[in-house]
Amino acid sequence: MSKCGRKKYMRTNVRHMTMETVESQQDRSVTHSVAEHSSAHMQTGQISVPTLAQVATIAETDDSAESEVIDSHKRREILSRRPSYRKILNELSSDVPGIPKIEEEKSEEEGTPPNIATMAVPTSIYQTSTGQYTATGDMPTYQIRAPTTALPQGVVMAASPGSLHSPQQLAEEATRKRELRLMKNREAAKECRRRKKEYVKCLESRVAVLEVQNKKLIEELETLKDICSPKTD
């Protein structure tokens, strides 16, 4: 995959705002907006996280003189980075029994085979008669492998920086560090995407469960209405 010619963007204090909306778009040949871009990447049926588009809209419409007066706290609140998927999911799981926690990555010696991510699709959260959510065997009892622990072949740990002298050695060290960083980030991105998918699936499951619950309650309400005020015809 060729990565040459990649455009570098200055990023301002914007977690949910890209330069697409911050910069003037005049000199950009790309015509799609942030919202379009994110929706284009949204799979059918997935739940979109609206903050990005919302914030982008705010940013776009905010450049009037009045906007300068806007409380910076508010803005910061909007733009602040939201918690990680792991955190969100774990909070969800503490609220709702049956939603699995995303476990911290564990070292391989704790029994988990390396590089194996077992994960079931969380398609079945059921509600018990007490109103609690319960997981079936299909619930994601995944285990997260520890990707960063395994260095690819060819990545050699160099000597300590103190022992490097020549510019060539320094350059090699820099290259090695960069490759290591890229590799780590590559794995981190994969893991992040996996967590995100998990998070979205989890939300979808919740929606499904709540819809069923809502339907039941409506039916119950109708029944009670009928009992309390039977029709006279």
Partner DNA sequence: AGAACAATTCGTCAATATTT
Partner DNA sequence: AAATATTGACGAATTGTTCT
Q: Which one, 36 or 219, has the nearer CB to DNA? A: 36
We find the least distance from the C-beta atom of residue 28 to DNA, in angstroms, to be 7
216 and 209 in contact (C-beta within 8 Å)?
Answer: no
Q: Which one, 116 or 188, has the nearer CB to DNA? A: 188
Q: Which one, 9 or 126, has the nearer CB to DNA? A: 9
Dihedral, CA atoms, 38, 40, 41, 42, nearest 10 degrees?
90
Q: Which one, 78 or 127, has the nearer CB to DNA? A: 78
What does the DSSP 8-state code read for residue 82?
P
We find the least distance from the C-beta atom of residue 23 to DNA, in angstroms, to be 8
We find the least distance from the C-beta atom of residue 7 to DNA, in angstroms, to be 5
Q: Which one, 13 or 118, has the nearer CB to DNA? A: 13
We find the least distance from the C-beta atom of residue 141 to DNA, in angstroms, to be 19
Q: Which residues bind DNA (CB under 7 A)?
A: 1-3, 5-20, 28, 30, 34, 37-38, 40-44, 49, 52, 56, 79-87, 105, 148, 182-186, 188-193, 195-196
The residue type found at 123 is T
Burial class (CB in 10 A: 0-12, 13-18, 19+), 169: middle
Rg (the chain; Cα; Å) = 25
Distance of alpha carbon 132 from alpha carbon 150, whole angstroms:
40
Residue 172: which H helix or E strand, with range? helix 167-228
We find the least distance from the C-beta atom of residue 121 to DNA, in angstroms, to be 14
Structure tokens at 201: 């699936």
Distance of alpha carbon 71 from alpha carbon 150, whole angstroms:
47
Helix (H, G, I), strand (E, B) or coil at 129: coil
Q: Which one, 76 or 225, has the nearer CB to DNA? A: 76
Q: Where are the beta strands (DSSP E) in 15-141?
A: 125-127, 133-135
We find the least distance from the C-beta atom of residue 40 to DNA, in angstroms, to be 5
